[in-house]
Amino acid sequence: MQPTTNQPPDSLWLVLSLFIGFRLMMLMAWPAEALTQYGDYQYYYNLAALSEMGHLPFLDYWSEYPPIFPFLSVAIYQLSGGVFKNYALLLSLTMIAFETGSLVLLYRMASEIRDRSQATWVTGVYVALFIPIFIWLATFEAMTAFFVLLTLFALRRSQSCLTGIAIGLGAMIKVLPILLLATVWRTRGWRAALVSGLLALLVCLVVLGPLLILSPDYTLASLQSQGSKSSWQTVWALLDGNKANTGIFGPVADHFDPVKARTQLYNPSRVPAWLTLIPFALLGLFIFTRPVLRDADDPFIFTALTFTIFFLWAKGLSPQWQLFLVPLLLLSLPVQRAVLFLLVLGFINLLEWPILLSRGLTELLPLTIVARTIVLVLLGWELCQQMTRLPEPTGVANG
């Protein structure tokens, strides 16, 4: 869809000013301990503090995350002088930088598929949402979200090299961006997917290769750790009897034992992942091979749908993953409908954590898990409907 010729003035600077200013004022007004109370910053700090004794991730202990963030965390720890409040400040500022990049990409892509006034409205909604703020002060998911959007930005411009590099870098922060290869295949064909996949693989080899050579045991344990987790916060976890499991690994000391990375702390899966993969893979293949009425150059619906199907299939679901959905839904759905889904998911996830889990009310977790699953099913249905719905004319209020 082409933007209208009479564009309003570019207001990106205003949105960015509000976005950055709001977050900086939060950092100025509240102590780091209060801002990060319900997040994982303290856990990241504890792992990074091992560098005081000369221990580095992948080399001297295994890490449940791909290499880029653990080494970044160590660098931030060293710059902080080993003081937690300094570490939290520097890490949050780093995440603001990635979030700012995501907001710029969101604005640019919204301007292309709608117009500048709609782009301002979309990015303004992002700034006003609470969930990105909560996740910003809890995790490093902003880094992954940035590379997801950078991949889509490059994909719309048919820049296969940048697409593959962005996927590879994103996968070295969290594995989930690998799913974007499905979007590349659907929107650009198998040749583009092959080129992007090979480039992504090359990036992963450049990052992981030296670590595998220097410390094969800890590097392999790190790569195996996520797949060895017990189920958590999904209907599969309820089936396995793991309703109180949040997917957190054991104490920091366990990271020095590679065997611990491959040891499940809770009940094993009653239904093997490969068995559940079959119906979900067939569903995804059916959906992605359907003819659509939407612009074939629009990768946002396909990506949002891919993530949604993955969330329904995965044995574990981390609530912070919803950060990927925020910009995707704002670009895929009418704004009011996107906000409705995001608010409902946000309330469910906040009810789960911090309200229920921090108070030990684990007997109520099945309610939030089932509710979230239902919402994800409805979201998947809505995205499928959008694929076969003609887009609204540019300039019409989209929502």
What is the rounded CA–CA span in Å between residue 123 and residue 107?
A: 6
Q: Which residues contact 30 (CB under 8 A, 6 or more apart)?
A: none
Q: Is the pLDDT of residue 349 over 90?
A: yes
Q: Is the pLDDT of residue 54 over 70?
A: yes
86 residue type, one letter: N
Name the residue with higher pLDDT: 136 or 297. 136
Q: For residue 37, count CB atoms less than 10 angstroms from its CB and return exposed for 0-12, middle for 13-18, buried for 19 or more.
A: middle
Q: Is the pLDDT of residue 3 over 50?
A: no
* Any domain includes 63: yes
- 215 is written with which tokens? 């410390």
- Domain coverage including residue 303: 12-387
> Between the CA of residue 11 and those of 25, 115, 207, 339, 374, what are the distances in Å?
21, 12, 38, 21, 37
Are 208 and 224 in contact by the 8 Å Cβ rule? The answer is no
Long-range CB contact pairs, 389-395, < 8 A, 24+:
389/293, 389/294, 390/293, 390/294, 391/1, 391/294, 391/295, 392/334, 394/1, 394/2, 394/3, 394/4, 394/114, 394/115, 394/118, 395/4, 395/115, 395/118
Task: Return the pLDDT at 293.
Answer: 57
Average pLDDT over residues 343-370: 92
Task: Return the pLDDT at 390.
Answer: 54
* Any domain includes 128: yes
Task: Return the pLDDT at 246.
Answer: 76
- 204 is written with which tokens? 């992963």
Residue with tokens 């590379």: 147
Residue with tokens 């992605």: 288
Long-range CB contact pairs, 5-11, < 8 A, 24+:
7/115, 7/116, 8/115, 8/116, 8/117, 8/120, 9/116, 10/116, 11/116, 11/120
What is the rounded CA–CA span in Å between residue 386 and residue 399?
A: 13
CB neighbours (10 Å) of residue 293? 11
Least confident of 3-7, 23-27, 140-144, 372-376: 3-7
Q: Is the pLDDT of residue 76 over 70?
A: yes
Are 34 and 143 in contact by the 8 Å Cβ rule? The answer is no
Are 230 and 206 in contact by the 8 Å Cβ rule? The answer is no
For the chain, give the percent of residues with pLDDT over 70: 93
Average pLDDT over residues 60-73: 97
Burial 361-398 (b: 16+ CB within 10 A, else e): eeeebeebbebbbebbeebbebbbebbeeeeeeeeeeb
* Any domain includes 3: no
DSSP-based three-state secondary structure for 251: coil
Residue pLDDT, tens place only, 150-194? 999 999 998 989 999 999 999 999 999 999 999 999 888 899 999
Task: Return the pLDDT at 385.
Answer: 87
Q: Is the pLDDT of residue 81 over 50?
A: yes
Give backbone dihedrals phi and psi of 14, rounded to 5 degrees, phi first.
-70, -45
> Between the CA of residue 146 and those of 126, 136, 230, 326, what are the distances in Å?
14, 12, 28, 12
Average pLDDT over residues 104-133: 94
Task: Return the pLDDT at 286.
Answer: 86
Are 313 and 271 in contact by the 8 Å Cβ rule? The answer is no
pLDDT band at 208 (very low <50, low <70, confident <90, very high): very high
Q: Is the pLDDT of residue 295 over 60?
A: no
* Any domain includes 1: no
Residue pLDDT, tens place only, 244-288? 777 777 789 999 999 999 888 888 889 888 899 999 999 888 888
Task: Return the pLDDT at 7.
Answer: 59
Number of domains in the chain: 1
Handedness of CA 41, 151, 303, 66 (dihedral sign): negative
* Any domain includes 93: yes
Task: Return the pLDDT at 224.
Answer: 92
pLDDT band at 66 (very low <50, low <70, confident <90, very high): very high
How far, rounded to the nearest angstrom, does the alpha carbon of residue 280 sit from its chain's CA centroid? Answer: 20
Q: Is the pLDDT of residue 396 over 50?
A: no
Average pLDDT over residues 97-115: 95
Q: Please state, rounded to an integer, the average pLDDT across all residues of the chain.
A: 91
Q: Which residues contact 75 (CB under 8 A, 6 or more apart)?
A: none
* Any domain includes 252: yes
* Any domain includes 159: yes
Name the residue with higher pLDDT: 318 or 394. 318
* Any domain includes 397: no
Average pLDDT over residues 241-245: 83
